[in-house]
Amino acid sequence: MIAPLSSSGGAPADTSRLASRENLEAAGQRFEAIFVGMMLKSMRAAKLGDGLFESKALDQFRDMQDQQLARAMAAHAPIGIGKAMTEFLAKAAPLPDAAAARAPTDGGTK
């Protein structure tokens, strides 16, 4: 079933994916991998000259290698943009487990 659109007409209003910290962290890591991949692609596009053995096949394999490199960099040596996005989303939509941790533990007897 397709999630209903938000009242602004943009993205779906379904925020159930934000329900756990693990999902937020995984999304942050994927976002960082995409960002690093875009950086690598921009750096490759800024080359100064054509190489002797350039071909479309070589470009395709280089793009695949760059995608894997971006995923590895996001997982093992992050630059921090994914973590910043994760923290922003966590503040925007408090997680149920975080709200339960902040709840008083005296049983409500005051």
The token duo for 14 is 């379904």
Q: How far is CA 97 from the centre of its chain?
A: 21
Tokens of 30: 């994927």
What length does the chain have?
A: 110
Instruction: Confirm whether pTM is higher than 0.75.
Output: no
Residue 25 pLDDT class (50, 70, 90 cuts): confident
Q: What percent of the chain has pLDDT over 90?
A: 14
